[in-house]
Chains A and B, each alone.
Chain A
Amino acid sequence: MLISHQWLCSLLDLDGPAPDADALATILTGLGLEVEAMHRHGAGVEAILVAEIRGKAPHPQAGKLTVVELFDGERTLSVCCGASNLPPVGGKVALAPIGARLPGGLEIAPRELRGVASQGMICSETELEIGVDGDGILILPDEFPAGARLHTLVPGMVDTVLELGVTPNRPDALGHIGVARDVVAYLSSRPGGRAALKLPPAPAVMAPQDPQLVSIAAPDRCGRYLGYAISGVKVGPSPLWLRVRLHRLGLRPISNLVDITNLVLMEFGQPLHAFDRSKLAEGRVVVRRAHHEEGLRTLDGTDRALAQDDLVIADADDAQALAGVMGGAASAVSAGTTELLLEAAWFAPPGIRVSARRHALATDASYRYERGVDHGAGLERAALRALALIAELAHGRCIAQAEALGARPPRPVIDLRPARAEALLGVAVPTLEALAIFRGLEIEVDVDGLSDRGPTERDAAETILLADPETPNRSPRWSPSWRCVAPTHRPDLQREADLIDELMRHHGLDHVPARFCVPREARPAASADAMSVRGDLLSDGLREAGLQEIVSLAFVAEEKLLHFSDSHDGVPEDRFVRVANPMRGAGVMRTKLVPGLLDALVHNTARHGRPVRLFELGRVYAWPRGQVDPVGFPAGFPVGTRAVDVQLPHERTLAGLLLHAGGRAHADPRVLTGAVAHAIGRLGHRLHLSHGTGTHAAPTVSWLHPGAQIRLAVASVSGPVDIGVAGELHPELIAAWGLPDGLRVAYAEIDLAALPTAAVAKAREIPRFPATSRDLSLEIPITLPAAAVLTALRSAAAVLPAPGEDPVRLQAGEDIELLEDYRGAGVPEGHRALLLRLHYAAAGRSVTDAEVSPLHAAIVEQACLALRARAPSVRPR
C-alpha cells in the first residue's frame, strides 16, 4: 500500500506540526505497518512558477518553435517553446526559471536558440514528474495567479510516498484514513498528546429514497448495498490536484469519474463502482448469484463463464458486474455517459476470494473486499465523499438513493481484562493510555458501567480522567474488565487477545521487559528426539570417514526416479507421492537419495577432477503398499489425529553415501564399506556383509551393478538385521546422468529406522602376550566371496580341538587380515588368490612355533574342505 505523507498529514488534526516523513515512517513501523521503502518526489519543483502568456510569435529561424512572452508575476520574459498545445494569450503555464533544477536533473540556464534568447523553460507533466502526459506542456487553470509557486497550489507535488507492507488482518490500513486513524491513536496516547482525525467533507444527500433502485437476492453474500442514481454527469479530465495525487500513488488518471472512485479507494480503502445507468435495464440493480450458464464480459474485455456461486450485480436482465471483483463492459462508464448508478457495498469476503481466484482476477477491489471493508459508517461516508466530488468535478446530481441490507457481521462485544493484558504482555499499559488508544481506534469502551450514564456523561468522565495527571497508572477504581465494542472498520478485532494486541502495538513493544516466568534452573532437563540423535551420530561417523554432507531438494523429476521403481527393491510409480503444482519440473517426492547425490557428483565432475565423497541424510517418501494400516501409522511422529495421519504418505530417513575416486579413477568399494562400518560403529554396531546363503540369497538390487553389491547388516539379539545395501551404481545410471562410460561410482544406502537400538560397547581383554602369525595364500574362484573364506576359517578354528589349559587360538579381535586380492599371472582363469594373515595367541603365555604350525595346517585343511563343498577348485598355494 502506497501512502502519501502529504495526504496523510492533511487528515490529521494536531496541535503542533505534523510528523515529517521519517518520523511518520518510524511511527508506522512501530505500529506494525512496516514501511518497506520511501520514495521522495518533487525535488526542485519548489522553483516552478505559474506564468501567464502575454504574447506569442513564431521563431524567426525555426518553424517548429514559438517565442513566448511570459509574465512571471514580476517581469516579462521570453522563452522558446516547441510544444504544439500552447494555450492562447492569457493562459497559464508552468515556468522553470533560470537556475531551477527539474526532478530529472536538468538545470535551467539561459540559452540562445537560433539567435533568440530563452530565459527559462515551459514544463510538461513528465518533466515535472507529476504525470505521464506526453502530449505537450502542462496547461494550468486560469485561476492560478501568475508568479505563484506551483507546488503551493497543487498538494502532493512535493511529497514522500511510503510503501507499507500491510498484513492481511488490516484491511483498514488499505486506505489513508485507516492509516491516519492508527497515527491518531498513537499520537493521542502519548503523554500530553492530542490528535484527532480530520475527515474530508461528505455532506449527506437530500435525494429521495427509491427502494426499487437496489435489491439483494443473496443476503448471505452481500451484507449492505448502497446505490445512488446520479444525473447530468459530464465526463472529462480531472483537475490537476487529483491527477497529481493519483500519479503519486502509481495510478494513471483516466477521467474524472474513474479518478474519483480511485481517490476514494485510496482514501477510505472502499472500492466503489459506477455503472452507466442508461445501459442498465430498468435502471436498477440486484445483487444475486449467477444464473446457470450465465456469461459476462468484464471491463478487461474478457468473456467469462460464470459459476453459480459467483456473485453478480445484475440489472433487470443480465449480469453487469462480477461483484467485488470487476465491472462489466456493457455498463461501463464512457465519454458520453450522463447517468450513473454509484455502488458502495460490503460483500462477504470468502465468496469474493473464491470468485477472484476462479477467474484469476486480482483487482484493487477484490483485494480489499476479501480482507473485509467497513460495513458501517465508513461505507456510507465513502459514498457521500464520492458524491460530493462527482457534484463538484463532474456536475452530477444525486436524484435517488437506496440502501439494501443482507447479513452484516455483528459487532463483537469483547470483555478486556487489564490484568490479563498485563499477564500476557508482562507489562501493564497505564489505564489512561489504554483508554486513549481505544478512543483513537474508535473502539467503544464501557469502563465500570460508564456507558449506562449516557454518552455525554461518559465522554465527560473520560475527559476528566484523561486530563487528571494524578492517576496515571492506577486501576483499582475500575472493574476487572472493560466491555468493548469493536468498530466496523476493524474486522480483525474478535477477541480479547486482539484488543491486547492493539494495546501492545500502541504502547510499544520496547516496554516489554525480559523476565523468565520459570527460572532456567527450575526447568527439567530437555533432550532431542531419538531419531535426530541417531541421525546426528551417523552423520558424525560419515564425516569422520571423510565424507561431505550435502542437502538436496526433496522433490525431483519423475524420470530420475523411474530408475528405482522396480517393485522388489524400489518404489513403483503407483506409490509415488506427487506434487500437484511442482516447480522446475520436479514433480515427485524422492523415493531415493541417489538422484540428488548423482546430481551433485555431476556438478562436481563438470568443474574439477578431485575425488568426490558425499553423503546425504534425508527423508524419502512413498504411499504405503496396498491399503493403509490404520494402526501405528505414521511411525516416528507425534500423532496429531488419526483422521489426518492415516492420509499421509510414509516418510523414511535414509543415509546415502556416494564415493567417486576423482577423474576417471574407480572408487574402491572397501573404502565405502569401511565408511559404513565406521559410521554405524558410532552407534555401537558392527557391520556384517553378506550375500545371504542358499535359499536365503539376497535378491539383486536392480539399480546397482549386478556383480558388485552386497547387503549391509548389523548383529542384534535376534540375529543379523538388514540395514541397507552397498555396491557400485549400475552402468545404466552412470549413463543416464551423462557421466563417462565405465566410470565406477560406489554407493551405499542405510535405512536409519532399521538400525536396532545399539548395545553399549563392552570391553575386550587386550592381548598381553605377542601373537604369532602365519600367512596363507588361497586360490579360489572369483565368485566365491571373501566373507565366506573368512567364515570358513573362523568356523574351523572354533571347532578344532585345542589341547591344554591355555590353548592356542586365533587371536580375538584381530584374527585374520586380508592382505591382497591377487588376480593375474600364476592364477588360473576365473580365479583369484587371497593372501591372508592369521594371528595366533594364547591368553596367558607366549606361543611357540611348534604348537602353531600344526594348528594352522589343520585349520587350513578343515576350511578348504568346507569351502570345496561350494567351490571344488579351492586350494592353498
Chain B
Amino acid sequence: MSPLLAAQIQQFHAALASVTSEEALYELQVAYLGKKGSVTALKGEMGKLPPAERKDFGAAWNRTRDEIEAALERHRDVLKARARDLDLARVVDLSMPPLRPPVGSLHPLTQTRRRLSETFIRLGFDVAVGPHVEGEQFNFDDLNIGKDHPARDMADTFFVEPAAIRGLAPGDVQELVLRTHTSPVQIRTMRTRKPPIRIIAPGTTFRRDDDATHSPMFHQIEGLYIDEGVSLADLKATLMAFTEDFFGQRLAVRFRPSFFPFVEPGAEFDLGCPFCSGRGCNLCKHTGYIEIGGCGMVHPGVLEHCGIDSERYTGWAFGFGIDRMTMMLHQIPHLRLMFEGDTRFLEQFPC
C-alpha cells in the first residue's frame, strides 16, 4: 500500500476516535471523502504514477475509501446508540401538577338543566319556555289558585308594578307577578296547543324567601302530559324511565299524597337514593329515598280553564327544583355558592 494512503488511514482513525457528534462525523467524512477531501485528492495522484503501479494504487485507494466509509458507518451507529442511551437515561417527572389550558365552564345549574332537558327530549317531551313576569291569571287563577285561595299563602309572591296601558277594560287588568313556579308555562301551552301535549318547562322562578336554604330566585322544571287515557301509572313509568337515563340506574319512585291546587289527585314524589341505590346512606338520611318534588293528575278545572275537554282528556304534571337537584348531584354545601360567581367554585365543574 501506498504510504500516502496508509498515512491517511492512520490519520483518519486518530481523528475518528475523538468524534462525539454526528455533525463532527459528517465534517470528518467531508474532510476525507468529500469533493475536496484529502483521500479524494489522492485519487488525482494516480495519474502521476507509472501505468504498472496504477492498478495497484487504484485498488488500494478503493480499499482505503471502503475502510473509511465502513469506519464512519460503524462510528455513526455507535454515536446513535450512545445518543439513544442518553435519551433513555432522561427522567421526566409527569407527577408534576398538570398545566391546564384556560378552559371555561358552564354553570352547574345549566349543566343540570341541559341534562334534564336532554333526558326528557329522549322520552318524547318538547322543551317550552314562558315569560318571567306573568299575569296572575296564568300564575294563579287558571291553576285553581283564586284570589281567595289559601294556597296563595304557599307562595310568597313578588308583585310587579304594572304599566299604564290604554284601552284595557278594568276587568281585564292583571295583577303582575314574578312567576312563583314554572306552571304558567303549562297554561300557556295548553291554551295554544291541542292534545297530545308532552312538554317540559325548565326555567327561573321567584319567591320572597331568603335564607340559608332559599334564594329569592331559583329554578324549576315542570313536566306535563295531556292525552286520552293518561294515568298516574304513566307518570310513574315516565319518572322511572327518567331515573334510568339521568342517573344511569333504574330507581324506585315513591308517591306520597299531598296537595297542589292544580292537580287532583296530588302527591309528592321521592326517588330511590341514587347514591346508595336505595340501601340507605348519609345523603338520604338512611331512608333509601330522596324527596324530589310534587306531581299529580292535572285538575279537570285547569283543563277546562284552558279549553281542553276534561272528560275526553286526562293528564299528569310534575315539578321539582333544579337548584336542589344540582346541589344534591354535586354535593354543593351552600346555596349562596350558586349565585356569587366565585371562579374557584365555577372551575370545579368543567364541562
B126 adjacent to A526 (CB under 8 Å)? yes
A546 adjacent to B121 (CB under 8 Å)? no
- Of residues 623 to 664 in A, which have CB atoms within 8 Å of B's CB atoms? 623, 627-628, 634, 636-641, 643-649, 651
Q: How far, in angstroms, from A540 to B109 measured CA to CA in the complex?
A: 14
Nearest opposing residue in chain A for B199, CB measure? A526
A640 adjacent to B138 (CB under 8 Å)? yes
Give chain A residues whose Cβ lies under 8 Å from the Cβ of B204.
Answer: 554, 619
What is the total of A-B residue contacts with beta carbons within 8 Å?
306
Q: Which of B106, B127, B300, B346 has the most CB of A within 10 A?
A: B106
Interface check B154, CB cutoff 8 A:
yes
Interface check B232, CB cutoff 8 A:
yes
**Interface pick from A107-115, A408-416, A508-516:** A508-516
Q: How far, in angstroms, from A532 to B104 measured CA to CA in the complex?
A: 20
A426 adjacent to B150 (CB under 8 Å)? no
Interface check A498, CB cutoff 8 A:
yes
A516 adjacent to B160 (CB under 8 Å)? no
Q: Which of B123, B261, B346 has the most CB of A within 10 A?
A: B346
B133 adjacent to A651 (CB under 8 Å)? yes
- Of residues 227 to 278 in B, which have CB atoms within 8 Å of A's CB atoms? 227, 229-234, 236-238, 240-241, 253-259, 261, 264-267
Taken residue by residue from 488 to 524, chain A's Cβ proximity to chain B (1 for < 8 Å, 0 otherwise) reads as 0000000111101100110001101111111010011
Give chain B residues whose Cβ lies under 8 Å from the Cβ of A651.
Answer: 131-133
B259 adjacent to A554 (CB under 8 Å)? no
Q: How far, in angstroms, from A614 to B346 measured CA to CA in the complex?
A: 10
Q: How far, in angstroms, from A582 to B189 measured CA to CA in the complex?
A: 29
B265 adjacent to A497 (CB under 8 Å)? yes
Q: How far, in angstroms, from A532 to B343 measured CA to CA in the complex?
A: 25
Give chain A residues whose Cβ lies under 8 Å from the Cβ of B259.
Answer: 32, 167-170
- Of residues 666 to 708 in A, which have CB atoms within 8 Å of B's CB atoms? none
Q: How far, in angstroms, from A505 to B210 measured CA to CA in the complex?
A: 33
Taken residue by residue from 399 to 442, chain A's Cβ proximity to chain B (1 for < 8 Å, 0 otherwise) reads as 00000000000000000000000011111000000000000000
Q: Out of B217, B265, B351, name the residue touching A553 (CB < 8 Å).
A: B217
Place the interface of chain A in its size category.
35 or more
Q: How far, in angstroms, from A639 to B105 measured CA to CA in the complex?
A: 34
B341 adjacent to A614 (CB under 8 Å)? yes
Q: Out of B160, B210, B264, name the residue touching A580 (CB < 8 Å).
A: B160
Q: Which of A424, A581, A608, A644 has the most CB of B within 10 A?
A: A644
Nearest opposing residue in chain A for B299, CB measure? A497
Interface check B99, CB cutoff 8 A:
no
Taken residue by residue from 267 to 296, chain B's Cβ proximity to chain A (1 for < 8 Å, 0 otherwise) reads as 100000000000000000000000000000
Give chain A residues whose Cβ lies under 8 Å from the Cβ of B151.
Answer: 168-169
B130 adjacent to A614 (CB under 8 Å)? no
Interface check A730, CB cutoff 8 A:
no
Q: How far, in angstroms, from A371 to B153 measured CA to CA in the complex?
A: 11
Also in contact, A516 and B127, with CB within 8 A (given A34-B256, A548-B105): no
Rounded to whole Å, the gap between the CB of B123 and the closest CB of chain A is 7
B161 adjacent to A578 (CB under 8 Å)? yes
A542 adjacent to B104 (CB under 8 Å)? yes
A647 adjacent to B230 (CB under 8 Å)? no
Give chain A residues whose Cβ lies under 8 Å from the Cβ of B257.
Answer: 30-32, 501, 504-505, 509
Q: Out of A427, A527, A607, name the residue touching B127 (CB < 8 Å).
A: A527
Give chain A residues whose Cβ lies under 8 Å from the Cβ of B131.
Answer: 634, 637, 648, 651
B231 adjacent to A425 (CB under 8 Å)? yes
Q: How far, in angstroms, from A827 to B308 measured CA to CA in the complex?
A: 76
Q: How far, in angstroms, from A600 to B256 measured CA to CA in the complex?
A: 41
- Of residues 205 to 237 in B, which have CB atoms within 8 Å of A's CB atoms? 206, 208, 210, 215-217, 227, 229-234, 236-237
Q: How far, in angstroms, from A518 to B256 measured CA to CA in the complex?
A: 25
Taken residue by residue from 830 to 851, chain A's Cβ proximity to chain B (1 for < 8 Å, 0 otherwise) reads as 0000000000000000000000
B174 adjacent to A498 (CB under 8 Å)? no
Also in contact, A640 and B266, with CB within 8 A (given A542-B104, A580-B160): no
Taken residue by residue from 174 to 218, chain B's Cβ proximity to chain A (1 for < 8 Å, 0 otherwise) reads as 101010000010011101110010100000101010100001110
Interface check B172, CB cutoff 8 A:
yes
Q: How far, in angstroms, from A379 to B343 measured CA to CA in the complex?
A: 62
Also in contact, A509 and B104, with CB within 8 A (given A515-B234, A551-B109): no
Rounded to whole Å, the gap between the CB of A304 and the closest CB of chain B is 21
Also in contact, A424 and B314, with CB within 8 A (given A548-B347, A550-B346): yes
Give chain A residues whose Cβ lies under 8 Å from the Cβ of B297.
Answer: 424, 497
Give chain A residues whose Cβ lies under 8 Å from the Cβ of B215.
Answer: 553
Give chain A residues whose Cβ lies under 8 Å from the Cβ of B163.
Answer: 623, 628, 647, 649
Taken residue by residue from 605 to 619, chain A's Cβ proximity to chain B (1 for < 8 Å, 0 otherwise) reads as 001101111110001
B107 adjacent to A527 (CB under 8 Å)? no
B137 adjacent to A644 (CB under 8 Å)? yes
B229 adjacent to A517 (CB under 8 Å)? yes
Also in contact, A514 and B339, with CB within 8 A (given A554-B204, A643-B172): no
Interface check A288, CB cutoff 8 A:
no
Also in contact, A531 and B102, with CB within 8 A (given A349-B148, A505-B257, A584-B216): no
Also in contact, A599 and B265, with CB within 8 A (given A549-B110, A581-B158): no
Q: How far, in angstroms, from A504 to B56 measured CA to CA in the complex?
A: 117
Give chain B residues whose Cβ lies under 8 Å from the Cβ of A553.
Answer: 215-217, 339
B341 adjacent to A497 (CB under 8 Å)? no
Q: How far, in angstroms, from A552 to B126 measured CA to CA in the complex?
A: 27
B133 adjacent to A500 (CB under 8 Å)? no
Rounded to whole Å, the gap between the CB of A347 and the closest CB of chain B is 13
Give chain B residues whose Cβ lies under 8 Å from the Cβ of A517.
Answer: 227, 229-231, 233-234
Interface check B159, CB cutoff 8 A:
yes
Taken residue by residue from 560 to 585, chain A's Cβ proximity to chain B (1 for < 8 Å, 0 otherwise) reads as 00000000000000000111111110
Q: Out of B122, B236, B338, B343, name the residue touching A604 (CB < 8 Å).
A: B343
Interface check A806, CB cutoff 8 A:
no
Q: How far, in angstroms, from A282 to B203 measured CA to CA in the complex?
A: 61
Interface check B114, CB cutoff 8 A:
yes
Q: How far, in angstroms, from A427 to B236 measured CA to CA in the complex?
A: 12
Give chain A residues whose Cβ lies under 8 Å from the Cβ of B129.
Answer: 529, 531-532, 636-637
Q: Out of B124, B125, B232, B256, name the residue touching A424 (CB < 8 Å).
A: B232
Interface check B52, CB cutoff 8 A:
no
- Of residues 31 to 87 in A, which have CB atoms within 8 Å of B's CB atoms? 31-32, 34
B130 adjacent to A637 (CB under 8 Å)? yes
Interface check B166, CB cutoff 8 A:
yes
Interface check B37, CB cutoff 8 A:
no
Interface check A716, CB cutoff 8 A:
no
Give chain B residues whose Cβ lies under 8 Å from the Cβ of A647.
Answer: 135, 162-163, 165, 168, 173-174, 176
B237 adjacent to A515 (CB under 8 Å)? yes
Q: Out of B160, B236, B341, name the residue touching A512 (CB < 8 Å).
A: B236
Q: How far, in angstroms, from A597 to B149 measured CA to CA in the complex?
A: 39
B233 adjacent to A426 (CB under 8 Å)? yes
Interface check A545, CB cutoff 8 A:
yes
Rounded to whole Å, the gap between the CB of B328 and the closest CB of chain A is 17
Give chain A residues whose Cβ lies under 8 Å from the Cβ of B104.
Answer: 542-549, 613, 615
Interface check A337, CB cutoff 8 A:
no
Q: How far, in angstroms, from A739 to B340 measured CA to CA in the complex?
A: 17
Interface check A528, CB cutoff 8 A:
yes
Known interface pairs A539-B110, A603-B342; 16 further A-B residue pairs with C-beta atoms within 8 A, sorted by A's residue number: A168-B153, A168-B154, A370-B148, A495-B301, A505-B257, A514-B240, A516-B237, A517-B234, A549-B104, A596-B341, A603-B340, A638-B188, A638-B192, A647-B168, A648-B134, A648-B176
Complex A-B: 17 CB contacts under 8 Å: A168-B149, A169-B259, A370-B148, A501-B265, A509-B256, A526-B125, A528-B117, A529-B128, A536-B114, A579-B158, A581-B208, A600-B342, A603-B341, A611-B102, A639-B192, A648-B135, A649-B160
Q: Which 5 A-B pairs have the closest CB atoms?
A: A426-B233, A600-B341, A32-B257, A523-B124, A167-B259
| Residues of B in contact with A (beta carbons under 8 Å apart) | 101-107, 109-110, 114, 117, 120-135, 137-138, 147-151, 153-154, 158-163, 165-166, 168, 172-174, 176, 178, 184, 187-189, 191-193, 196, 198, 204, 206, 208, 210, 215-217, 227, 229-234, 236-238, 240-241, 253-259, 261, 264-267, 297, 299-301, 314, 338-344, 346-347, 351
